[in-house]
Amino acid sequence: MVEWWRDAVIYQIYPRSFQDSDGDGIGDLKGITQRLDHVAGLGVDAIWLSPIFTSPMKDMGYDVSDYTDIDPLFGTLADFDALVARAHELGLKVIIDQVISHSSDKHPWFAESRQSRDNPRADWYVWADPNPDGTPPNNWPSVFGGPAWEWEPRRRQYYLHNFLIEQPDLNMHNPAVQDTLLETMRFWLERGVDGFRLDTVNYYFHDAQLRDNPPNPDHTGPETYGFQRHVHSKNRPENIGFLKRMRALTDEYDARMMVGEVGDGGQTAIDIMAEYTAGNDRLHMCYSFEMLSPEFTAAHFRRCIEGVQKGAPDGHSCWSFSNHDVIRHVTRWQDHAGNPDALARQAAAMLLSFPGTICLYQGEELGQTETELVYEELTDPPALRFWPEVRGRDGCRTPMVWDADAPNAGFTTADPWLPVKAPQASRAVTIQQADNDSVLAAYRAILSFRKSQPALRWGQTEFPDLPEPVLAFRRTHEGTSLTCVFNLSASPEQLTVTGDTVLSGPSHASLSAGRLVLPANGFAWLSGNIDLQA
């Protein structure tokens, strides 16, 4: 079986914000198809589409009301088929988002389930009786604030929603639910998709006894969700059995894959990534929010990579620095940068040197920064509820910028669903296209270099011990080694190099007389077997 995903670079497209083809201010499938040449020209291997299914859009498509159709905002099934066909012509695989831990409350399954306790889908969702005083059955909170339980007077019961009230959790303890969800995945496999990104994959099962979660004494953030250790509301051991069923399904088809999003942080996330990818009968790979955090140290990146390697030597990881849920990394790590473009180039060099599969988020190749929004411009539910302490996810979801001279930077001819502001428009593709020193040019060069280096694509990884702020690791494949070195600071750093070597690829450093000089946010690839010392 072809395992194209093992060294793949996946480009995440947020459909609402990529390209509007029909003038309604919202991106769509035809728009994506029009812009696929840009994606293919970067040198990536696949695209991942954030949710495009029928939805009331309470959470921008992560509340699905029909798992086997396209929302009219984005187009039709025929538009989807045309997109897949064009992507495959360009050599791009297509991965779609699967949101199966919960549905929309407008899904027909839930509309039936909430009617009574004895209808055919009565136990398709997680229902529980109230406590004697009428309060929810336990202390579980919603990620978006408040309790994770909502009262349904028709049943005189509560239903579980780990996210919005409009996103009731499906009951994975029910085999009929599992069977039906697997059939919806088969629908898309038959339609030619190459893989699935599994949203909140560690939320599928809950503790059947509904035991209270214990407190988390380490929590200091503004949100309430972190006050608990979520040992009963997610991360349940029963999850493994369903992951195996999903793997068995994808294994029926040639060259398909699954990547799971682990909605957790810290060592727990690394442990789950390892557990969910161990062996060859679970997920093909996982990613967590560990590298999507504000932390920017050599020790942090090393801990993430080594943690998965030790926990699942035969497993596989997927790493990214930005996505649709977090502040863009050029803004998130700006305190460690000489300037934004230098940080953007270094981030590309570092991420594309990591072992495993790599995911890039749209606009990352432009060095895009977080958009500053005012309250009246927001659409994201957590931000609308808890502003300004929680600023939400809209700032990383603003439209892709194509043409600096066109209205809304070429995204739409109408008012866009989120604004295109001047700092973002100044990074448009048209501006960077003709600049050999642009961030876009750097991404293309580094992606090309990665493809030319078997050590970067498949090599084993080991870390020499060097002090902060230098991150270094050696990638070795079939006797050929490449040492990757990064200065994670805004000040120059020097290292002593022992051994016969030269700078490789589009390095941003100088090497002379055994001294490697790394400027602010500098990086280097060194060929051969060498030693480094601070």
How far is C-alpha 106 from the chain's CA centre? 26
Q: Which two tokens stand for residue 30?
A: 């035809």
Q: Which two tokens stand for residue 140?
A: 């579980």
- Contact yes or no for 31/382 (Cβ under 8 A): no
Task: Find the angle CA(361)-CA(364)-CA(366) to the nearest 5 degrees.
Answer: 145
Please state, in angstroms and rounded to a whole number, the distance separating the CA atoms of residues 310 and 293: 22
Whether the CA torsion 173, 268, 225, 131 is positive or negative: it is positive
Please state, in angstroms and rounded to a whole number, the distance separating the CA atoms of residues 328 and 334: 10
510-512 and 460-462 strand pairing: unpaired
Any idea what DSSP says for residue 227? Answer: G
Active-site annotation, residues: 199, 252
One-character DSSP codes across 31-53: HHHHTHHHHHHHT-SEEEEPP-E
Which residues are CB-contacts of 246 (< 8 A; sequence separation ≥ 6)? 182, 185, 198, 258, 283
Residue that is written with structure tokens 């020499």 in the block: 464
Please state, in angstroms and rounded to a whole number, the distance separating the CA atoms of residues 314 and 279: 6
How would you list the strands of the sheet with 510-512, edge to edge?
Answer: 510-512, 515-518, 493-498, 531-533
Q: How crowded is residue 404: how many other Cβ atoms within 10 Å of its Cβ?
A: 16
Any idea what DSSP says for residue 223? Answer: S
3-state SS of 170-188 is ECCCCHHHHHHHHHHHHHH
Any idea what DSSP says for residue 4? Answer: G
Residue that is written with structure tokens 């280097």 in the block: 524
- Contact yes or no for 362/443 (Cβ under 8 A): no
Residue that is written with structure tokens 């994770």 in the block: 148
Which residues are CB-contacts of 85 (< 8 A; sequence separation ≥ 6)? none
- Contact yes or no for 150/163 (Cβ under 8 A): no
Task: Report which of 350, 291, 334 is spatially closest to residue 471, judged by C-alpha positions.
Answer: 350
Please state, in angstroms and rounded to a whole number, the distance separating the CA atoms of residues 481 and 453: 10
Please state, in angstroms and rounded to a whole number, the distance separating the CA atoms of residues 428 and 393: 21
Residue 369 amino acid letter: T
Q: What are phi and psi of 294, to 5 degrees?
A: -70, -15
